[in-house]
A and B are shown apart, each in its own frame.
Chain A
Amino acid sequence: MLELRDLHKRFGGFSAVAGVSLELPKGSIMAIIGPNGAGKSTLFNLITGHIPPSAGQVLLAGRDITGAPPYEICRLGVGRSFQRTNIFPHLSVFECIQAALIAHHRMGRNFWRRSETLYRTETLALLRSLGLADKADSPAGALSHGNQKQIELGIALASDPEILLLDEPTAGMSAVETHETIDLIARIARERRLTLLFTEHDMEVVFSIAQSIGVLHQGRLIALGAPEAVRADPEVRRVYLGERE
């Protein structure tokens, strides 16, 4: 589904991503972990076209999408959430999702229809599956951090992606919210048969849903494989899981 070939990103003299290759089969769930500054967000931005790679390729379903602008990558079936919550704060929750549906259906070029009448059932259905239906009319920016993360997930899902990239989906959440969010993500990924790539700092979360784990350290993947194998990897234990030899 998604393949990265020897991806590099240099900012001046600093290599944020230094030769990452990985393959993500359709329907799989992979977590990328690593300490702060390891290059996780940069890696995401390279995949979604927010920054162009210095070298290497990104392939989506066998098609080279390296250097394509974000809106095109989104239209090709990639959804993402951002590490810092990224919604439309002055719109209502309903309007946020509705706008994403309008964009997804390429209705934005229409100058004449009334936008508020469009995709109402689809919007409501999506809000229900996220558990946000009762908050539909609240301004998105006024809700709790956890709710805003859910809205962002909803905005990403509205474009009906095949692959979903979530950058720290539980960042800043309480233990309860984290638990609920992970259940929600796992359920939606199952229902929609999504391919999921996410970064996460909470190891419990990672080991509970990831089928494979990649460990990023100083821009390099130092380990990639099944959770048990990664957990047992001496290199990973040394640099990340916090054990000293």
Chain B
Amino acid sequence: MELIQQLVNGISLGSIYALIALGYTMVYGIVKLINFAHGDVFMVGAFVGFYSITVLHIPFVLSLILAMAVCALFGVLIERIAYKPLRNATRIAALITAIGVSLLIEYGFIYVRGAQPEAYPGDVLPEHVIHLFGAKINSQSLLILGVSVVLMIILQFIVHKTKIGKAMRAVSFDAEAAQLMGINVDRTISSTFAIGSALAGAAGVIFGVYYIKIEPLMGVIPGLKAFVAAVLGGIGILPGAMVGGLLLGVIESLVSAFGYSLWRDGAAFVVLILILIFLPSGLFGKYRREKV
């Protein structure tokens, strides 16, 4: 029954990865940029949630929404200041800037606030234990899954049913043609960053509620792993990011379950390298041949 237990843990962890991965994959799909700062947006979301719960004493759902709003603004700010001037620069320049922005957020945050970790209060959400097939399932992990699924459904709705979603799909397909059709490309890119960052902020809050401990450098490893998840599912493809995130969470939990918990962090990167070598376009991606 240990196995089912670990699977449940894996799905909870995986849904957090999936939420972060969605932001990565949306941004990459539109501007072809690996937004390294995305993991730090996740961190900021966790802290906003923490302060709104402990200082402002507002309930969980409102804190979640507040964190998402702050992160959306923050994401747009990053895009406007750092990435927009680089829209026509080389990919390498954009990548290096993204690394720079990520470090600036991390260490700027430490400089302002200090590096000490914080602990989410334990009574944010009621905790019940449900017994299912002999495994103990925490109600919190169900809630995490529930929140993630709801957010993903909202995202699917936005991307496929609204005007801005249509604009996003058009820009990611061909930015120049979209511009010729009268789509405001800059605004579309900004809203992509806003939506992706809001999802990362939500992931930050539920990460804090579930894993309790948060710190300024907490975004680095989940950020990288979420990127792995995005690549695993096929970068630029939304359902791919969800499946990739869940799959990666389950793989990590299984590695722990078989007694290699110290190798857990390595597993994600082994998965990354294997997927890049054997299936570079990901599980859901189509192989595209480069043309001159």
Question: Is A bound to B?
Answer: no
Interface residues of A (CB under 8 A from B): none
